[in-house]
Amino acid sequence: MIVRAEFDKLPADLVHELTEAGIDAGQIYDLVEAALDEELPELVPGGMPSEDVTSVATIGADALGRGDFAVREAGVVSGLGVAALVFHYVMGDTVTILDRVPDGTRVAPGDVVMTVTGPTRGLLTAERTALNIASHLSGISTATAAWADALAGTKAKVLDTRKTLPTFRALQKYAVRVGGGVNHRNSLADMALIKDNHALAAGGVVPAWRAVREMYPDVPVEVEVDTLDDLAALLDAGCERVLLDNMSTEMMRQAVEMTAGRAVLEASGGLTVERAREVAETGVDFISVGALTHSVKVFDIGFDLSEG
- Provide the annotated active-site residues: 128, 163, 195, 224, 245
Decide: 292 and 158 in contact? Cβ < 8 Å.
yes
Q: Where are the beta strands (DSSP E) in 52-111?
A: 64-71, 75-76, 96-98, 106-107
Decide: 191 and 218 in contact? Cβ < 8 Å.
no
Q: How many residues does the chain have?
A: 308
Q: Is 172 helix (H, G, I), strand (E, B) or coil?
A: helix
Q: Is 4 helix (H, G, I), strand (E, B) or coil?
A: coil
Q: Which residues contact 182 (CB under 8 A, 6 or more apart)?
A: 157, 158, 159, 160, 176, 286
Q: Which residues contact 97 (CB under 8 A, 6 or more apart)?
A: 84, 87, 88, 114, 115, 116
Which of these, 173, 175, 207, 209, lies nearest to 194 by C-alpha position?
Answer: 209
